Amino acid sequence: MTKALLSRRGVEFDVRDIEKDPTAFEELQAMGLMSVPVVVKGDDYVLGWNPTKIGDLLGFEAREVSTTPEAMLSSMRTVLDATVRAVAQIPDEMLTWKSPDRDRPLRQLVHHMFRNYELGVDADILGEFPARTTWRMTRDVPTFDSTRRLVRYGEMVREKFNAWFNIVDPQAFDATIDADVGPRTLMQVLERTRLHSSFHLRQVYAFLEAGGVKPEAPLSLEDLREMGMEDLPDDIDIRPPKMD
């Protein structure tokens, strides 16, 4: 998403992949950082998804949240429903598939997607959004060895989200959350949640299609952008392996 943000604003940049380039990770550690994405300009940097600060660093204006709380929650529920629907179509044997550019099995990606939603709800309840150890680096859970188990977890997260959806205080969206990238409003946290989840949903669609499974009632890129998610990439950074 960060690359899409920069590209749409005509910013030229070099991409460093810490999973493929050991020197890039060493440089990251030398800066006292352990997670990505990071946008670096000279000695200054912005960690994580923070369009406003990235714009300040690079000299452009970024509109971070372009919707109302009501539309935000409605679109998040639409994306979560589509995620549960897509995950239910994943054959069990595909859960250990990995994309060529990421050492993460599909079951871990799905766990990460649902956990992302759960932590978005918790941000309102707890007043904080956790750092990389519990969010970006969601661990693999080998016991998620069947689609049924993953769907059950997703349905639990959906029940939690819908219960919160029905009681959330409208004033909560302006509250300050102690996030991993610094103080954010709840609306800013939720915007990242829905962007991040939508990006991964498109990856799950790519896995399904690579396995010869046609996604049921998928959300297209145009659908997602009509909901206000303008900074989703045109293309997804994934080329799933073909089924043997």
Q: How confident is the model at residue 232 (pLDDT cuts 50, 70, 90)?
A: confident
Task: Determine the pLDDT at residue 132.
Answer: 43
Third-level CATH fold of 2-58: Glutaredoxin (3.40.30)
What percent of the chain is predicted at pLDDT more than 70?
Answer: 81
pLDDT in tens, 101-147: 677 899 999 999 999 899 999 999 999 887 544 445 567 888 889 99
- Interatomic CA distance for residues 232 and 226, integer angstroms: 11
pLDDT at 93 over 60: yes
Instruction: Give mean pLDDT, residues 144-156.
Output: 95
Q: How confident is the model at residue 159 (pLDDT cuts 50, 70, 90)?
A: very high
The 8 Å CB, 24+ separation contacts for 13-18 are: 13/39, 17/101
Structure tokens at 198: 């939508």
pLDDT at 229 over 60: yes
CATH number, domain 69-226, options 1.10.1040.10, 1.20.120.450, 1.10.3300.10, 1.10.420.10: 1.20.120.450
Concatenate the DSSP letters of all residues of the chain into one string: -HHHHHHHTT-------TTT-HHHHHHHHHTT--SS-EEEETTEEEESS-HHHHHHHHT-------S-HHHHHHHHHHHHHHHHHHHTT--GGGTT-B-TT---BHHHHHHHHHHHHHHHHHHHHHSB---TTTTTTPPP-TT--SHHHHHHHHHHHHHHHHHHHHH--GGGGGSEEEETTEEEEHHHHHHHHHHHHHHHHHHHHHHHHHTT-PPSSPPPHHHHHHTT-TTS-SS-S--PPPP-
Task: Determine the pLDDT at residue 64.
Answer: 66
β-partners of residue 41 are 44
Task: Determine the pLDDT at residue 28.
Answer: 73
Q: What is the dihedral of CA 96, 99, 102, 108, to 10 degrees?
A: -30
Domain positions in the chain are 2-58, 69-226
Task: Determine the pLDDT at residue 135.
Answer: 44
Task: Determine the pLDDT at residue 244.
Answer: 43
pLDDT at 192 over 50: yes
β-partners of residue 46 are 39
The answer to whether the predicted template modeling score (pTM) of the entire model surpasses 0.85 is no
Residue with tokens 């759960």: 118
